[in-house]
Structures are given as structure tokens and as C-alpha cells.
Amino acid sequence: MSTTFQISLDTPAYKGALSCNTDLYINGQWVKPVEGGKIEVFNPGTYARFLDVQKVSDNPAATGKVITSVSVGTSKDVDIAVEAAEKAYKTSWGFKTPGMVRGQMLFKLADLVAQHADELAAFEALNGGKPYESARNFDVGVCINLIKYYAGWADKVHGETVETTENKLAYTRREPFGVVGAIIPWNAPLLMLVMKIAPALATGNTIVIKPSEITPLSALRFADLVAEAGIPAGVINIVNGYGNTVGEAISHHPDIRKISFTGSTLTGRKIQEASAKSNLKVVSLELGGKSPSIIFDDADLEQTIKWASMGIFMNMGQICCAGSRIFVQEGIYDAFMKGFIAAAQNLQAKTADPFVGQTMHGPQISKTQFDRVMSYIDSGKSDGAKIETGGERHGTEGFFIEPTIFTDCKPSMKMVQDEIFGPVAAVIKFKTEEEVIEMANKTTYGLACGVFTENGSRALRVAHALEAGTAWVNCYNSLDVQVPFGGYKMSGIGREWGQHALELYTQVKSVHVNIGMKI
């Protein structure tokens, strides 16, 4: 008998019931793990007064609430999932299902996500601590667009004919890998799930995916929509579990031909090692960042303050491309700081439960992440940086941290060099363009950057000089599903989103046909 999580919410932002299965989704069915076991799932910030839940208990080690538990898989469950995915690839997906038909199913899936958008956003807020309105308008909205975008590509993944001689026909095919694996993080659980699934399925692959053990609920609810969309059993398999068991098994599995991972650089290294030690599966990685925002004297001050604030404080700083290093030219420095501090304090005033209507700033995901961010704040203080605003815990319940701004920062400081993954901005004053480019590039990461100036030539010159996979000019965190996203240096390998993601999930075959050659 499968296990279901049920909860009734009566909050200012969302009123209604939520329900999802908590087992493993393998071969189109909800199944118990081979070896049993459960993972407790927490809510990082919702106050108990808003909950009417089957199980809400105090966690002795934290201030969040346990809202349910989900089944935990092991390598044995991964083996079963891979077998199901391989069978589906050969019998009911891949070349057996034309691209047009795959696209129709994905369009149906997008429609179902749209129909359940409020519910899915509520899962993101409940389990991930995202402000509900942000989850509804951004995360779920982008998911719908991503699925539709790749649905449209499903019958347009073409090879090419290659001119050789009149006695020979040569052409290429872009073919799926077969079974692919994916491991996703907790900071945008539904979006990360869709970001892997949509291009993988559009190109004919089947998939075994591990959601974060911290935030599995939206993925589990999504699985029921997969079945409703008519996608055959075994095409999508979701195995809950820990990184060192399920993630390790996916990384080493000999029948998984390609793996996509979003998460920490440290784990990315381990996945590459696993590929080398197993079957040399193709690896794509979207990893950490310590992205710079560079603000020149001639920037539009009002707009720049808003974009820079969103750049670092979006999703409580829990975003890989967060603009956490902010370089401000000396001529505009004082005016910028006055407005930037005010913006952070305004955000602080809207820090509250994710289900309160006007909340713009929620909690960190877990006590572990809360403690990590606070340790970096302490490090900044110890190294001589000055806190202009924030730097403390907000409230007494949940894992809330005040939006924090440091000045008097030096590039060598630990909190300036390391990815914090929290609402902590390090501001550094600069004089010249050459100086700031050198400081901005002095990092092991290269995921994103922002350039703010009204001088068009300088904007492009600096954007081109910065070592990052995405450069925003006079904006930040502005993403479009048609545009590729990925990093330089230790921020990753490969590009997701846009047409480039199709390359991640296909391999090229060259075909040579003799139509007149003789030997």
C-alpha cells in the first residue's frame, strides 16, 4: 500500500488541501524501497498556526517543523529504476515514439502544470521556504515555459547532410543516449526537475532522477501529472534518497549513459570521478558561483539599486548565480550605498512566513544552511568587514536571516571568495575599469556577472572581458528559456536552457552511404 502525505492549509496566500505520494516513482508506479527506510521532510519557516497537518512535531535539533517523511531509496532501487527506464526507451519511447508525439505529451504535461500551478507553488513554499507569490509567478511559470519550449523542439532535432563526392551520401543524426541520470538541488526543486526532464524527454531519452532529500515533495506531486499526461511507464523514474547512496548509484551506474547535475562544485567533482571510474558517462554540471555586479558612475542609480538587490537577495541568496560581490565605482558609491541599504531594510520589513501575502524574503532552507550562512557572517566580522545592515537572525522560529550588507571588504576575505548561498552582499569600492575587471575575474568561479552603465561601449567591453557564462547588462537574474545558461571555470560544464541543452542530451552519429564508389 502506498503512503500519501496530506495537509490542509488556511493561509493568507493559499487556502486548500495538498496531497502527494511519498514513495518511489518507478516504472509508472508508486513502490516501496527494497530496503525500506524514511527521510524526514521539514518546513523551514511556516508558522504552526497556519498548519492543519497529520504530523507536525518539534525537531529537537532545529526550529523548523517536521511535516512528513518520504521513502528513501538505495542502489537497489536505482537498479530497478534503470532497468525500467531502459525497457521504456527500447519499447515505448526513444525511436519508438516519434518526436511529434513526444512533443504532444509534453504540451499536455505543461497544461497540467499550469492547471495545478497554485498547488505546486504551495508545495515549493511549504517544503522549500520560498515566498508563495515568487514560487507561483516565477518558478512554476518558468517550468510551464520550459516544458512548452522543449515540446516544440521534440520533432525538430535534426542532423545534416554533408557534401563529400557524387558517389557517396554522408549525413548525421542526433540520437538520444538512452537512459540518462539527473541529480537536482533543493534551492529550486520543481524548476530544476523540469530543467532536466524537458530536454531529456524531448530528445527521446528516458530518465532516472534524484530530487534533493530536503525538498522532494513537489517532484513527487509532479510524478502524478506525468502519468496523467500519458507519458509511458518507465520514461520518468523518481528515486528519493541521499547523495551518498542514490546519488552515488546514479553516478556509477554502468547503464546510465549521461548524467546531469546541478549543485555544489565539490559534488560535481565527485560525479566526474564516478564517471571516470565507471563507464565514462557524459557529464554536464551546473555548479557554484561567486558572481560580480559591477556598477559604474554613470549607471541609472534607481534601477541599479533594484537590480543589484534582486541579484543578491532573490530566493534568500540561495541561487547559484547570485550577485554576491558588488563592485561600486567611487563617484557613485555613497549614493548607491544609501539606496542599497534602504532596499535591504525594506526587504527585511517584508521578511515573514512564505504564505503571508506580501512576503518577499523567506527562510534559509535548513538549520545546516542557516548555520553555514551565519558562520560566514561571523567570518566577515572577524576579518574586519563592516556590517551596514542585517547580519542577525530574524525572529525566533524558522531559519530566517536578515538581508545583510558588508562594506570595507577586501577581495582576499573568506566571505568574499567563497560561495555563501545566503542573503549576504560584499560591497567593494573601485576606481578604474581595468582594476575592477581584474578583481572581478579573480575567482575560481565563472557562472554570471552584471554590468551597470549607460555607456554602451563600456557595457559590452566589460561584459566581454568578464570570465562568466552569462553577462547581464543593466539587469540581473533575467532569464529566458530560449537563452543558454551555464558556467566558466569551476562553475560547470555544458549549457542548459535554449537550443544548446539539446546537445547535452543527444549524441551525433555520422552515416556514410556508398552510392557509386568501387574498389
**Which residues are CB-neighbours of 101 under 8 A, at least 6 positions away?**
none
Q: Which of 286, 388, 402, 496 is catalytic?
A: 286
Closest CA to 140 of 211, 93, 190: 190
**Which residues are CB-neighbours of 170 under 8 A, at least 6 positions away?**
161, 162, 163, 164, 510, 511, 512, 513
Per residue, the 3-state secondary structure of 280-328, as one string, reads CCEEEEECCCCCEEEECCCCCHHHHHHHHHHHHHHHHHCCCCCCCEEEE
CA 374, distance to chain mean position in Å, is 23
Percentages helix, strand, coil for the chain (3-state, rounded to 5) are 40, 25, 35
Closest CA to 237 of 252, 256, 263: 256
Residue 19, strand partner residues: 6
- First-last CA distance in the chain: 67
Closest CA to 21 of 32, 11, 12: 32
438 is an active site residue: no
Q: Is residue 501 left, alpha or beta, with left meaning phi > 0 and alpha meaning psi from -120 to 50?
A: alpha
Closest CA to 154 of 176, 178, 177: 176
C-alpha cell at 340: 542599497
Q: What does the alpha-carbon distance between residue 109 and residue 107 come to, in Å, rounded to a whole number? A: 5
Query: Which positions are catalytic?
Result: 286
